[in-house]
Amino acid sequence: MSEGSSGSSTYVCVVTGASRGIGQAAAAELARRGATVVTLGRDAGSTIRCDLSSLTSIRSAAAEIRERWPRIQLLVNNAGVQHVRRKVSADGIEATLAVNHLAPFLLTHLLLPALRAGVPARVVTVSSSLARWGRIDLDDLQSARRYNGTRAYLQSKLANIMFTASLAERLAGTGVTAVCVYPGLVATDLLRERWWWRARWLRPLWRALFLSPNDAGRAVADSATATLPSEGYCLTLGGRPVRTPRAARDGAARQRLWDASARLVGVDL
């Protein structure tokens, strides 16, 4: 096993958001199974420093990955944020959309040459079962007119599923597959801005209701080799397929989101 070493490897994994929570647990589990794990994040412990809210930083990180690891077998798009108040990235993009959806959209596009060179390869994007309550508003994709943190988060998680469905269609027959995984209700730092999450008297309840990041991380690692579900399905804990939201099965809606996303990140797909 090696973590972040350059050169050839039978199985190279790139994991975003691996400094804590689900990503950290998934990276550790993949490394335990013998993979070379390349982590992306802003903290000093990451293999490659990358601000996933910055398009420039993502492009720079992707270029370094392609140079150091020309063949990749797995990309795990895990990093995510949830903000109570609206925040904007350095590119002027609403932060939840930027990190949760546009970052995996752009990073995946930039790493496709390495994934194709490493076939069989897979793109795993971490979404949420809560995405069924999300709605894509292409007229206000960045929640500029009216911001609600929960609404922005659910929209981004639905966007993950729609992106993955479109990506799977485009990659059919290439040896690169794409799948979304629902890790379940997990106790992560995503909730740190919520008062009810910080309340000490509620912590026993959260421990009873929420999975640990380690459990969710193993589920994400398992999805790397799990049998692909049928079209229109995502994976849950244990590799069980679950039907995706109806909006994610609308090909025309997916194409509109794809086009809008490509414009925002500045790529021609």
The helix/strand/coil state of 227 is coil
What are the residue ranges of helices labelled H in the chain? Answer: 21-32, 55-68, 95-97, 103-117, 149-171, 195-198, 203-209, 213-223, 251-265
d(CA 222, CA 259): 31
| CB-neighbour burial class of residue 17 (10 A; exposed 0-12, middle 13-18, buried 19+) | buried
Contact of 245 with 158, CB cutoff 8 Å: yes
Number of neighbouring beta carbons within 10 Å of residue 109? 17
Half-sphere exposure of 209 (CA within 13 A, CB side): 8
Q: Which of 71, 172, 75, 82 is nearest to 125 (CA)?
A: 75
Half-sphere exposure of 85 (CA within 13 A, CB side): 0
d(CA 223, CA 45): 25
Whether residue 11 lies in the annotated active site: no
Q: Treating both helix axes as pointing N-terminal to C-terminal, what angle do 103-117 and 251-265 enclose, rounded to 10 degrees? A: 90
The residue annotated as part of the active site, out of 11, 153, 182, 233, is 153
Check the CA dihedral 33-34-35-41 and report its sign: positive
What amino acid positions are annotated as catalytic residues? 153
